A and B are shown apart, each in its own frame.
Chain A
Amino acid sequence: MGHIQKHPRGLIMQVHPVYAVFDPYLIWFYRITDYPFVDFLIGTFVLSMIAVVIGEFTISLAFLANRKFIEKTTDEVVRYQNISVDAIEAGNKPAYKAANKVANEAFGRSFFMQIALSTAFLWPIPFALAWMSYRFADLEFGLLFTDHTVGYPFVFFPLYVGAYLLFKRVKYKIPYFRRIRRILDSSANRHREMRSFADLLPSKKKKTDIASGK
């Protein structure tokens, strides 16, 4: 990415009081070195990490509050997915289509439950971007080898993904998340395993055996 340009100031939204409270703490991370672009990357990465950690915490709370419903919904999806795989294995297409239809209904319920859980994880992102808009709305970053410029969201999203991947590696060193994982694991162990259509594909060993005529 290229240099940062200042754009002639256009609009200022009225700063919401909540953002005004957090502003001095968040902007501190943007003033660590004296290199503007480096500071912007550091500050945005820290902001992303804060959004990731808050999101992970709230989704864990959502999971704990709705564990029974989540398990029941997931179990229904797994049951009919397994029936459809069994039907294929038995060469029974009508049973496969019937199981698929029911599995899709169950998947639909599970899907919207997961939408809910994902909002519990993602909700800090727009607030982070809203705060950034008060501070950095007029920044433009020139892209190398092109005439294009992009704004602050273009920097935020990749750094958010990086922060998520980094936190994923260290998450289970934190006692609270270790406990959540134990609960998740015990929940998975109590329920049937989902079969995949990939399970029906011949393994490499079997392919070799078949090829060699065994």
Chain B
Amino acid sequence: MKHGHWSIIALVVMFAVVATLFLVCPADAGKLEDAIAKTPVGAEAGKIDPKAPPGYLGIKGAPDPNLIYGFLWAIWVGWIFSSVGAFGGIMAGVGHITIFGLGDYAKTFKKTSPVMNKLLTDSIRVSNQFLVGLSALVSVTNYYRMGRLVLPLGICLAIGSIVGSILVPIFTAGQISLKAYIGYFGIAVFVIGAFLFYETTERGQRGKKEAKAAAQAFEAAHVKQAGKGAVDEKARGVRVLKWGLGRIIFSFYGVEFSFRPIVAVIGGFIIAAIASFLGIGGGFLFVPFLTSIAGLPMFLVAGTSALTVLIGMIVSIFSYMVIKGIPVYWTLIGAELVGIFIGSMIGPRTSKYIPDIWLKRIFVVLALYVGIRYCSKGFLGYSLIPPF
């Protein structure tokens, strides 16, 4: 990408960071110490035992997530990432919430120390976000190769994304109980599972096969036609045909495209807010949003959506960590990164033996299981499916 474009992005991020600093109240460091001070002392559940060894985040008596389990779970996450694509973030979230026992620990403080319950929930949310942020960072490095056209749309999305990513931590940090969080997490899992399910249907499969056949037919015909016929010079390049808040129409090489800026800003806000709130779904939601609602061709939006998610994640993580002082268990994150790398290396090698469609079917079933379990635990207070 040209230096100018990176400068624009850097300026946008800096503006968002500075705006965050001036919009929120100062002196929020020491959140964890405050929460511990407000939690009753004792050896029972929902209390902090000062004689117990320190665990997660240094809290005495807290579970100490086993780094080996974290590493192994992350291999599973990495394998999913490279085999299926979507769903890796969900599995990472499930790891933080359920597998490492952090969710159950946070739940014990629901009545005895709601402050601690909510702080631990926020710590889990931020841990989930690092993975989303990493995905966006990787995608953005590809963005510059896609061409200049996407930057204006990216800025529209980024405006909404930044606003969503600032407001969500401000209004929700310290406000969300674990029960509510896993309920909403479960809903997001259902939505993502539905997208995966569509891709396994005959309609979803047929669309992909037709696209591939059409692209290959054009490629074969184009090679034969190369050099024949002149291109109308006046049709070269981008020509804006109509400006407006409702719709911008432009032509590129005589082919018309359009997008709705207002929809882009609002969509950027909503999706960034969801990604900031839950720590999942940012990139995954942007692509179908941009292709179906904003009306842009799919390939054009890959880098654009990633850029928006990246900016949103930087602002969101900054807001949670720096402004709100939410603590993170770094060693666990590090072990997870190593595990994800190893899993991602295994995935391509096993994908030869497992058809893509069957992998997606397995994960649709898994999405149904995780979605029902988390939604019922979150909104009903108990799980409808085992383990109860």
Residues of A bordering B, CB below 8 Å: 7-8, 10-14, 16, 62, 65-66, 69, 73, 79-81, 83-84, 86-105, 107-116, 118-120, 122-127, 129-130, 133, 140, 143, 146-151, 153-154, 194, 196-202, 206, 210
The SS class assigned to the A binding surface is: helix
How far is it, in angstroms, between the C-alpha of A66 and the C-alpha of B215 when the chains are bound?
28
Excluding A98-B215, A103-B299, A116-B345, 13 further A-B contacts by CB distance (< 8 Å) are A11-B36, A83-B218, A95-B217, A101-B298, A107-B302, A113-B348, A116-B340, A126-B333, A126-B337, A147-B26, A194-B145, A197-B146, A201-B238
Which residues of chain B (68-109) have a CB below 8 Å from chain A?
78, 81-82, 85, 88
A153 touches B29 (CB 8 A): no
Which chain A residue has the least Cβ–Cβ distance from B26? Answer: A147
Which residues of the other chain, A, contact B29 by a CB distance below 8 angstroms? Answer: 7, 140, 149-151
Q: Closest CB of chain B to A206's CB: distance in Å?
A: 8
Which residues of the other chain, A, contact B30 by a CB distance below 8 angstroms? Answer: 7, 10
Partner of A13, one of B36, B58, B82: B58
Interface bits B163-196 vs A (CB < 8 Å: 1, else 0) = 0000000000000000000000000000000000
Which residues of the other chain, A, contact B11 by a CB distance below 8 angstroms? Answer: none
Which chain A residue has the least Cβ–Cβ distance from B67? Answer: A16
A115 touches B222 (CB 8 A): no
Q: Closest CB of chain B to A128's CB: distance in Å?
A: 8
B32 touches A11 (CB 8 A): yes
How far is it, in angstroms, between the C-alpha of A184 and the C-alpha of B210 when the chains are bound?
35
B341 touches A98 (CB 8 A): no
Nearest 6 A/B pairs, CB to CB: A197-B147, A116-B344, A100-B299, A11-B58, A98-B214, A126-B334
Q: Closest CB of chain A to B235's CB: distance in Å?
A: 7
B345 touches A115 (CB 8 A): no
Which residues of the other chain, B, contact A83 by a CB distance below 8 angstroms? Answer: 215, 218-219, 222
B82 touches A113 (CB 8 A): yes
In the complex, B9 has a CB within 8 A of chain A: no
How far is it, in angstroms, between the C-alpha of A201 and the C-alpha of B229 when the chains are bound?
19
A89 touches B237 (CB 8 A): no
Which chain A residue has the least Cβ–Cβ distance from B135? Answer: A115
Which chain B residue has the least Cβ–Cβ distance from A129? Answer: B330
In the complex, B148 has a CB within 8 A of chain A: yes
Which residues of the other chain, A, contact B219 by a CB distance below 8 angstroms? Answer: 79, 83, 86, 99
A-B contact count (CB 8 A): 223
Which chain B residue has the least Cβ–Cβ distance from A140? Answer: B29
Stretch at the interface among B252-260, B263-271, B357-365, B370-378: B252-260
Q: A151-B29, A196-B145 are known contacts. Are A126 and B330 too (CB-CB below 8 A)? A: yes
How far is it, in angstroms, between the C-alpha of A44 and the C-alpha of B142 when the chains are bound?
30
Which residues of the other chain, B, contact A97 by a CB distance below 8 angstroms? Answer: 211, 297-298
Which residues of the other chain, B, contact A118 by a CB distance below 8 angstroms? Answer: 134, 137-138
**30 A-B pairs with C-beta separation under 8 A:** A83-B218, A86-B222, A91-B254, A92-B255, A95-B218, A97-B297, A100-B299, A100-B300, A101-B215, A103-B215, A115-B82, A116-B78, A116-B81, A116-B340, A119-B134, A119-B344, A122-B134, A126-B330, A126-B337, A127-B334, A133-B330, A148-B27, A150-B322, A153-B321, A197-B148, A198-B148, A198-B149, A201-B238, A202-B236, A210-B233
Which residues of the other chain, A, contact B340 by a CB distance below 8 angstroms? Answer: 115-116, 119
Q: Closest CB of chain B to A61's CB: distance in Å?
A: 11
The SS class assigned to the B binding surface is: helix
In the complex, B53 has a CB within 8 A of chain A: yes
Which residues of the other chain, A, contact B337 by a CB distance below 8 angstroms? Answer: 119, 122-123, 126
Q: Closest CB of chain A to B50's CB: distance in Å?
A: 12
B58 touches A12 (CB 8 A): yes
How far is it, in angstroms, between the C-alpha of A38 and the C-alpha of B228 when the chains are bound?
66
Which residues of chain B (331-368) have a CB below 8 Å from chain A?
331, 333-334, 337-338, 340-341, 344-345, 347-348
In the complex, B38 has a CB within 8 A of chain A: no
Partner of A151, one of B26, B322, B345: B322
Partner of A81, one of B32, B237, B299, B338: B299
Which residues of the other chain, A, contact B388 by a CB distance below 8 angstroms? Answer: none
Q: Closest CB of chain B to A184's CB: distance in Å?
A: 15
Interface bits B294-331 vs A (CB < 8 Å: 1, else 0) = 00011110100000000000000000011101000011
Which residues of the other chain, A, contact B325 by a CB distance below 8 angstroms? Answer: 151
A116 touches B82 (CB 8 A): yes
Which residues of the other chain, A, contact B262 by a CB distance below 8 angstroms? Answer: none
Q: A146-B26, A154-B322 are known contacts. Are A95 and B147 too (CB-CB below 8 A)? A: no
Which residues of the other chain, A, contact B330 by a CB distance below 8 angstroms? Answer: 126-127, 129-130, 133
Interface bits B1-36 vs A (CB < 8 Å: 1, else 0) = 000000000000000000001100011011011001
A10 touches B218 (CB 8 A): no
Q: A88-B253, A93-B255 are known contacts. Are A113 and B146 too (CB-CB below 8 A)? A: no
Which residues of the other chain, B, contact A109 by a CB distance below 8 angstroms? Answer: 85
